[in-house]
C-alpha cells in the first residue's frame, strides 16, 4: 500500500473522478475466479434472474456455474464447470449460437433506435427466428423435413408458431421477443460472455441500466470491501447475528457484509438493522470510503459542508481535508442523493486505484 503522501499527490486528478456525477469511466473490475483471475465489468450478482440460475464458484474459469435448482440444472449435473477445456468448448458453442442469430440482434437494436413498439419488434424477430431455424438445416433435407413435421404437428404450420400464438401463450410482447432469442443470461455468465452480450440484455429489457439503477447498501459495501482487498474468508457469519434484518442480506453478498462488519467498515443503525437491500446515499458511501482509508491525513482546511449531519462530519472533514471530496460546490455535498450502481462502481474502482498507486 502506498503512503498517504503518495495518495494525496494523486488527489488533483482524483477529485472529480471520485465524486462527480454523470461522467464516463470504467466500472469496478474485480476477480471473480480464483482459477483464472477472470473479471466482469458488469456484476452478474445484481441480476436477480441470473442468480436464480447460477451460483458463485471461484474454481470455475469464469467464477460461476449453473445452480442445481435453476433452469440450467441439467447442465449443472452433467458438465464439469471446473474443467477449463470443457468450459472453453462450451463457450465456443455458445458464441456460435449467438452468431447464428446476429441478424436478429441487429434487427432488435435498429428497431429500438427507431422507436418501434414491442409488438412490431416481436413480430419482426419472430419471423426472422423462424427463417433462421429453417436456414440452419441447409444441406440436411431429412432434418428439415423432420423439423417441419414437428412444427406442423404442434403449431399447425411448418414454419413454427406465429407471433400472435406466442403472445397468447405468454401474454406480453416483451416475453415473445425474449423467447424468440432463447436468451439465457445465466449460461452466458458461466461461459464468460455476460459483458459481451450485456447491450442485448438491456435492449430486451431483461435488466435495468446501471446508469440509473440505484445501488443497494449491500452491493456498495461488497464493492468497497473487494476494492481494498479485504480478506473475505476469515470473517464469521456470526458477526451478523446482532442485526435483526441479517436474514435479508442477499446470499451472494453475505460474506462481504460479514467482513465489513468485522472490520468496522459498517456498523449498522441504532435500531439494530443493516438495511442491506435499501438504496445507499452519498453520505453513507463516503463514510464507508473514509473507513476504508484509516490512515488518511488532512493537509488542508476541510470544506464546511452545510448538509452533512453531525455523525458523519469527522469522516467528511478527513476526506475533504485530504482533497478527496469536493462536493457539488457552494459547500454542499448532496448528502441525501442516492448513488447508482455505475457511480458506486466508479468510486470502488478509484479507491482500488488509489491503494495500488
Q: What is the pLDDT of residues 196-209, one digit of tens each?
A: 998 888 877 778 77
Q: Which of 219, 271, 270, 279 is nearest to 249 (CA)?
A: 219
- Model pLDDT, residue 209: 78
Phi, psi of 332 (to 5 degrees): -115, 140
- Model pLDDT, residue 21: 35
Q: Which of 20-34, 75-89, 192-206, 276-290 has the lowest mean pLDDT?
A: 20-34
Which one is predicted more confidently, 238 or 24?
238
Q: What is the pLDDT of residues 110-150, one digit of tens each?
A: 998 899 999 999 999 998 888 888 887 888 889 889 988 98
Query: Rounded to an integer, what distance in angstroms lies between the CA atom of residue 62 and that of residue 28?
Result: 17
Count of alpha carbons within 13 angstroms of residue 246, beta-carbon side: 16
CB atoms within 10 A of CB 278: 16
Query: Rounded to an integer, what distance in angstroms lies between the CA atom of residue 50 and that of residue 351?
Result: 28
| Residue 288 banded pLDDT, cuts 50, 70, 90 | very high
User: What burial class does residue 246 get, using C-beta atoms within 10 Å of its C-beta: 0-12 exposed, 13-18 middle, 19+ buried?
Assistant: buried
Which whole number is the average pLDDT over 150-177?
Answer: 89
127: its cell numbers: 419471423
Which whole number is the average pLDDT over 268-276?
Answer: 94
- Model pLDDT, residue 29: 47
Q: Are 348 and 210 in contact (CB under 8 A)?
A: no
- Model pLDDT, residue 3: 44
Q: Which residues contact 51 (CB under 8 A, 6 or more apart)?
A: 44, 45, 250, 252
Average pLDDT, the chain: 85
- Model pLDDT, residue 244: 96
Query: Rounded to an integer, what distance in angstroms lies between the CA atom of residue 342 and that of residue 28?
Result: 9
Which whole number is the average pLDDT over 37-49?
Answer: 86
310: its cell numbers: 453531525
Q: Which of 72, 75, 169, 177 is nearest to 124 (CA)?
A: 177
Count of alpha carbons within 13 angstroms of residue 293, beta-carbon side: 29
Which one is predicted more confidently, 5 or 244?
244
- Model pLDDT, residue 229: 86
Query: Rounded to an integer, what distance in angstroms lies between the CA atom of residue 205 and that of residue 226?
Result: 29
Which one is predicted more confidently, 302 or 23?
302
DSSP codes, 1-19: ---HHHHHHTHHHHHHHHH
Q: Which residues contact 81 (CB under 8 A, 6 or more apart)?
A: 57, 60, 65, 66, 87, 190
Angle among Cα 186, 190, 191 to the nearest 5 degrees reads 115
Q: Which residues contact 50 (CB under 8 A, 6 or more apart)?
A: 44, 185, 186, 189, 194
Which one is predicted more confidently, 178 or 120?
120
Which whole number is the average pLDDT over 298-310?
Answer: 93
Percentage of the chain exceeding pLDDT 90: 48
- Model pLDDT, residue 120: 95
Which whole number is the average pLDDT over 219-228?
Answer: 90
Which one is predicted more confidently, 80 or 21?
80
Q: Which of 55-59, 207-211, 315-319 has the lowest mean pLDDT?
A: 207-211
- Model pLDDT, residue 342: 87
- Model pLDDT, residue 188: 95
| Residue 23 banded pLDDT, cuts 50, 70, 90 | very low
Which whole number is the average pLDDT over 312-318?
Answer: 94
- Model pLDDT, residue 213: 87
- Model pLDDT, residue 1: 39
298: its cell numbers: 488532512
Amino acid at each position: 500500500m502506498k503512503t498517504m503522501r503518495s495518495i494525496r499527490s494523486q488527489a488533483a486528478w482524483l477529485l472529480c473522478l471520485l465524486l462527480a456525477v454523470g461522467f464516463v469511466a470504467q466500472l469496478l473490475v474485480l476477480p471473480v475466479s480464483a482459477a483464472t483471475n477472470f473479471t466482469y465489468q458488469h456484476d452478474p450478482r445484481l441480476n436477480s434472474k441470473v442468480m436464480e440460475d447460477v451460483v458463485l464458484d471461484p474454481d470455475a474459469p469464469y467464477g460461476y456455474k449453473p445452480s442445481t435448482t435453476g433452469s440450467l440444472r441439467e447442465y449443472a449435473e452433467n458438465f464439469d464447470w471446473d474443467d477449463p477445456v470443457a468450459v472453453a468448448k462450451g463457450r465456443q458453442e455458445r458464441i456460435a449460437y449467438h452468431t447464428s442469430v446476429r441478424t436478429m440482434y441487429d434487427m432488435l437494436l435498429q428497431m429500438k433506435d427507431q422507436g418501434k413498439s414491442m409488438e412490431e419488434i416481436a413480430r419482426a424477430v419472430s419471423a426472422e427466428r423462424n427463417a433462421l431455424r429453417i436456414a440452419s438445416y441447409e444441406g440436411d433435407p431429412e432434418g428439415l423435413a423432420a423439423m417441419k413435421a414437428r412444427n406442423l404437428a404442434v403449431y399447425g404450420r411448418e414454419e413454427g408458431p406465429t407471433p400472435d400464438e406466442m403472445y397468447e401463450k405468454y401474454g406480453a410482447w416483451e416475453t415473445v421477443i425474449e423467447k424468440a432469442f432463447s436468451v439465457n443470461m445465466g449460461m452466458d455468465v458461466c461461459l464468460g460472455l455476460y459483458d459481451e452480450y450485456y447491450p442485448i440484455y438491456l435492449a430486451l429489457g431483461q435488466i435495468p441500466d446501471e446508469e440509473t439503477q440505484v445501488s443497494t447498501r449491500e452491493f456498495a459495501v461488497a464493492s468497497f470491501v473487494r476494492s481494498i482487498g479485504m480478506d473475505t474468508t476469515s470473517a464469521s457469519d456470526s458477526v451478523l447475528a446482532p442485526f435483526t434484518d441479517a436474514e435479508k442480506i442477499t446470499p451472494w453478498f453475505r460474506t462481504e457484509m460479514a467482513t465489513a462488519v468485522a472490520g468496522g467498515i459498517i456498523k449498522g443503525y441504532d435500531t439494530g438493522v443493516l438495511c442491506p437491500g435499501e438504496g445507499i446515499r452519498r453520505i453513507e458511501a463516503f463514510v464507508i470510503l473514509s473507513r476504508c482509508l484509516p490512515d488518511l491525513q488532512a493537509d488542508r482546511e476541510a470544506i464546511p459542508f452545510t448538509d452533512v449531519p453531525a455523525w458523519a462530519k469527522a469522516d467528511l472533514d478527513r476526506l475533504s481535508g485530504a482533497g478527496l471530496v469536493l462536493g457539488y460546490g457552494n459547500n454542499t455535498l448532496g448528502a441525501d442523493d442516492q448513488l447508482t450502481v455505475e457511480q458506486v462502481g466508479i468510486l470502488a474502482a478509484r479507491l482500488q486505484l488509489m491503494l495500488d498507486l
